[in-house]
A and B are shown apart, each in its own frame.
Chain A
Amino acid sequence: MKIYDGGKIFLGLLVFVAIATFPFTFNMVMGKGTKTPEPKTDTPAIQEYEKVNGKKECVESKEFMRTEHMQLLNNWRDSVVRDYNRGYMSNTNGKRFNMSLQNGCMQCHSNKKKFCDECHNYMAVKPYCWDCHIQPEEKEEAKS
C-alpha cells in the first residue's frame, strides 16, 4: 500500500494533534492540570466529633459520599419537603442524621470553600445550592 504525499499528510496530522491537545499538554507541563483537589475535613466540629467518637464518619462512607452526595441530597430534599421526613438512617454506621443541608451537612462541614468549592471548581460544576441556602460564615482566608 502506498500513500501518496504520505509525508505531508502525517506531518499535517502531527501538527493537528499537537494543536488540538495543546491545552492539555500545556497544563500538564505547567503542572496546573495535575493538581488534584484536596477537600478539607478539619473543621472544629469534625475534630470535636473525632475526639468524642474516635473516628471521623459521615452520613455514609467516604467513597459513597464522594460519588453519590448529589443523589443523596436530591432524595433528602424530596423526602423532607414532601413527606415530612427528617431523619436518615445511615447504612454505614446505623446512626440517625438530620436530613438538612444548612442544619445537617454544614454544621460539620462549615468550611464550604475548602470542602465544597475545592472539588466543584476543579470539576467546573456549579451547583446552585447557595443561590438560596445560607452559607456558613467563613473567615476570608488569605489567598495562598
Chain B
Amino acid sequence: MSMDRRKFLKIAGISSILGFGASVASATHTIWQKGLYPPQVDKNKEALTAKRWAMVVDMSKFKTEEDVKKVVSACHQTHNVPDFRNPDDSVNRKDEIKWIWQASYERAFPGQDNKYMSEHMKEMPFFVLCNHCDNPPCVRVCPTKATFKLADGITMQDMHRCIGCRFCMAACPYGARSFNWRDPLPFIKNVNKTYPARTKGVVEKCTFCSERLSEGKIPACVEAAPQGGLLFGDMEDPNSEVRAIVSNKYTIRRKPDLGTGPAIYYLIGGGDHA
C-alpha cells in the first residue's frame, strides 16, 4: 500500500475534524440535549426586594451592653461564625472572624473626631459591619469574581470561588473582611444546620443576610436590635424609613471621602441625647 503526501494529508485532516466534532458532540450531549437548559428557576414569592439595600444605625437606642451583645450573637449564630478564644477567654485577635462588631467613634470615623467632643460620643460603641459600598474596592480586586455586587446593592461573595488570596482584605478600608486561618467548624458552638460554615482558606464577611432576604426575612441583626436601633430598607424608595431618616436627619458614613459609597448610615443625635 502506498500513499502520496497529498492523500495522507487529506485523510489526516478529515479524520481530525471528525474526531474533534465527535468529542464536542459527546461533551455537549449531556444536559443540553435533555432540554434542561436554560434551567427553570425562580425566586421565592415572599422574597424581599429593593433597588438599594441600606442600613441606618442609631446607637442611642442601645441602652445596655446586653442589647449590643444580642445583635452580634444573633448574627454570628445565624451564620455559623466561629468564636476563637485564647486560653484566658479573651478573643484571639489573629484568628477572629467578624461579621458585625463594635468600634469606638475614633476608630469608626477617623478624622471626624475632636478632643472636645462629648465623653459620651467618645466612649459610645458603634456597630460596624460591611458597608456594602456602591463602588466596593474588594470586588474590584477579586481575581476570581468570588466577591461581586448584587443588583440590589449587596456586596456578596461565593465561598466556592474564593481562593484565599486576601486581596479583598487589603483593599477594604473598613476591615470588614476576615480570613479563615483555621478550620472554623470546631469553634462553632451551636451550629445552625440551615446555613453552611466556611472552610480554612476563604475570606468571609457580612452578606446583609441575603439568604434571609430571599426567604422574606429581615437581617438577623436588625431583628435582634432594640426598636429603631438598626433600620434596614431600600434607600432608593422615597417612602422608606431609612430614606426618611437620611433625608431629614443628620447621618454620617464611614470614610466617605474614599469614594466607596458606603450604604451604612450612622444617625448622630438621634433619640434622647443631642
Contacts and interface: CB of A to CB of B under 8 A. Distances in A.
Contacts of B35: 91
Contact of B199 (A77, A102, A131): A131
B197 A134 contact: yes
Contacts of A131: 199-200
Contacts of A25: none
B177 interface: no
Contact of A82 (B150, B191, B197, B199): B150
Contact of A64 (B34, B160, B199): B34
A10 interface: no
B214 A71 contact: no
Interface stretch (B11-19, B42-50, B101-109): B42-50
Main secondary structure of the interface of B (DSSP, over half): loop
Interface residues of A, number: 32
B199 A88 contact: no
The SS class assigned to the A binding surface is helix
Interface string A89-103: 101000010010111
Contacts, number: 80
B210 interface: yes
30 contacts: A71-B31, A72-B31, A77-B160, A80-B214, A81-B156, A82-B150, A82-B156, A83-B43, A84-B210, A84-B214, A85-B42, A85-B43, A86-B44, A87-B41, A87-B42, A89-B39, A89-B41, A96-B42, A101-B196, A102-B193, A102-B194, A102-B196, A131-B199, A131-B200, A133-B196, A133-B197, A134-B192, A134-B193, A134-B197, A136-B193
A60 interface: yes
